[in-house]
């Protein structure tokens, strides 16, 4: 029995030990020079918390997101291919999220069908799509996920094209991926060097095959007639087709946030795809104030990217996010320990959040505001405005 995961960094270190290198790099890596990937985390470190003394609060982390009551303002972001990381896959992640009183967004390319998640985990659930396949496929998919009991739809805007993942290229994984003898030999050597992962996958091979085949059957092969980017007209069209909650993911400016609201989004997710799409895009925490200001009360605002500790959650909520999503942290947990690994990562966030909220003297997410924040090193750059002024 491995020791419990105590931090996201723990989970990452274990994922690195367990996974074949190509899979770890797929999860861990970002686009191009990974500038935005690093900036996401750094932006949180550059902001300090101004604790309130002389108060002792009973912390209640409960909140609502689009009318849905959550015990924890931390959701699991849609992540593709998670079925390859551990046989518990998307079902395990959804179960862990439900156990923590929150929810997981199922990626269209998680390699697990919405029906399988819905059958295994009490809903309602949220699903994420991109533009692949065009309107006909999107329409078919919306009907399918609605019938499966999904009531929230996350529409990702920041691709295609996918980001340029240089780590994948270095492993010889060059899109469109073809199983050439050279690539197969390379990946087989990596699998041999990851015996725990290989054994778990071999044990679950039959179930895994059924899950992946089921997902591929349900979701199509993603081969689009033309894999175009969604436009605001597409979002307005989806709004007409989809009666449930509609979230638009990948917004980084006030202008785009307003466009999303005009197109009918109920919420925007401030996201740069975890630094996996456009390298050089701003850190999400720095984009958040402009977006929150632009939408006001017209929509809810969520954020993802670089959230590694509860203090990051507190900072994002203080700047106007209703909740955050975590991508890599939960995938590391899944790789490290399957469903219980994801549950442990969520528990790390819950316990750290309770402690941090007590330390800053704020009882609930609703008590968090920008007054809680300042620049970590306002004296570093004389003459420049402090982070507090910028926020």
Ligand X SMILES: Cc1cc2nc3c(=O)[nH]c(=O)nc-3n(C[C@H](O)[C@H](O)[C@H](O)COP(=O)(O)O)c2cc1C
User: Could you list the active site residues?
Assistant: 273
Backbone angles phi, psi at 28, to 5 degrees: -80, -25
Residue closer to ligand X by CB (options 40, 102) is 40
Distances (CA, A) of 248 to 168, 309, 311, 329: 27, 24, 25, 22
**Is 70 in contact with 99 (CB distance < 8 Å)?**
no
The Cα 343–Cα 11 span in angstroms is: 11
CA atoms within 13 A on the CB side of 385: 5
- ∠ CA(361), CA(99), CA(18), 5° rounding? 100
Residue closer to ligand X by CB (options 95, 276) is 276
Shortest distance in whole angstroms from residue 250 CB to ligand X: 7
Q: What is the DSSP string of 327-361?
A: SHHHHHHHHHHHHHHHHHHHHHHHHHHHHHHHHHT
Shortest distance in whole angstroms from residue 327 CB to ligand X: 2
User: For residue 294, what are its two tokens?
Assistant: 């632009």
Given the rule CB under 6 A, which residues bind ligand X? 27, 40, 77-80, 107, 109, 128, 156, 249, 271, 273-274, 276, 304-307, 326-328, 331
Shortest distance in whole angstroms from residue 219 CB to ligand X: 11
Shortest distance in whole angstroms from residue 184 CB to ligand X: 22
The Cα 340–Cα 357 span in angstroms is: 25
User: For residue 218, what are its two tokens?
Assistant: 């349900």
Residue closer to ligand X by CB (options 89, 362) is 89
Residue closer to ligand X by CB (options 276, 362) is 276
Dihedral sign (CA 136, 139, 140, 145):
positive
The Cα 343–Cα 191 span in angstroms is: 26
Residue closer to ligand X by CB (options 331, 362) is 331
Residue closer to ligand X by CB (options 328, 350) is 328
Look at residues 172, 115, 182 and name the one whose alpha carbon lies nearest to residue 149.
Answer: 115
């Amino acid at each position: 029995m491995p020791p419990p995961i105590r931090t996201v960094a723990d989970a990452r270190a274990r994922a690195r030990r367990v996974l074949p290198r190509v899979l770890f790099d797929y999860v861990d890596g970002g686009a191009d020079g990974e500038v935005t990937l690093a900036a996401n985390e750094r932006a949180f470190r550059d902001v300090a918390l101004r604790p309130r003394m002389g108060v002792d609060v009973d912390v209640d982390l409960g909140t609502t997101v689009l009318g849905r009551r959550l015990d924890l303002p931390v959701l699991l972001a849609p992540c593709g291919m998670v079925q390859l990381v551990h046989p518990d896959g998307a079902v395990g992640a959804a179960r862990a999220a439900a156990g923590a009183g929150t929810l997981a967004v199922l990626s269209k390319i998680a390699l697990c069908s919405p029906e399988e998640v819905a059958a295994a985990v009490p809903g309602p659930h949220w699903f994420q799509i991109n533009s692949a396949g065009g309107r006909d496929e999107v329409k078919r998919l919306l009907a399918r996920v609605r019938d499966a009991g999904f009531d929230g739809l996350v529409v990702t805007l920041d691709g295609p094209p996918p980001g340029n993942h240089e780590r994948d290229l270095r492993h010889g994984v060059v899109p469109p991926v073809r199983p050439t003898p050279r690539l197969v030999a390379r990946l087989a050597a990596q699998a041999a060097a990851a015996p725990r992962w290989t054994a778990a996958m071999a044990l679950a091979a039959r179930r895994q095959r059924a899950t992946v085949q089921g997902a591929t059957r349900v979701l199509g092969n993603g081969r689009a007639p033309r894999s175009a980017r969604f436009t605001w007209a597409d979002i307005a069209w989806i709004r007409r087709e989809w009666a449930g909650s509609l979230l638009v993911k990948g917004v980084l400016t006030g202008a785009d946030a307003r466009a999303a609201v005009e197109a009918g989004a109920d919420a925007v997710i401030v996201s740069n795809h975890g630094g996996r799409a456009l390298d050089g895009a701003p850190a999400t925490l720095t984009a958040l104030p402009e977006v929150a200001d632009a939408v006001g009360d017209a929509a809810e605002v969520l954020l993802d990217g670089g959230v590694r500790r509860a203090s990051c959650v507190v900072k994002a909520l203080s700047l106007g996010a209703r909740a955050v999503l975590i991508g890599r942290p939960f995938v590391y947990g899944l790789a490290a320990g399957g469903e219980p690994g994801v549950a442990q990562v969520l528990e790390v966030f819950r316990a750290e959040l309770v402690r941090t909220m007590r330390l800053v003297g704020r009882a609930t997410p609703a008590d968090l505001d920008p007054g809680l924040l300042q620049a970590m090193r306002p004296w570093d750059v004389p003459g420049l405005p402090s982070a507090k002024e910028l926020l």
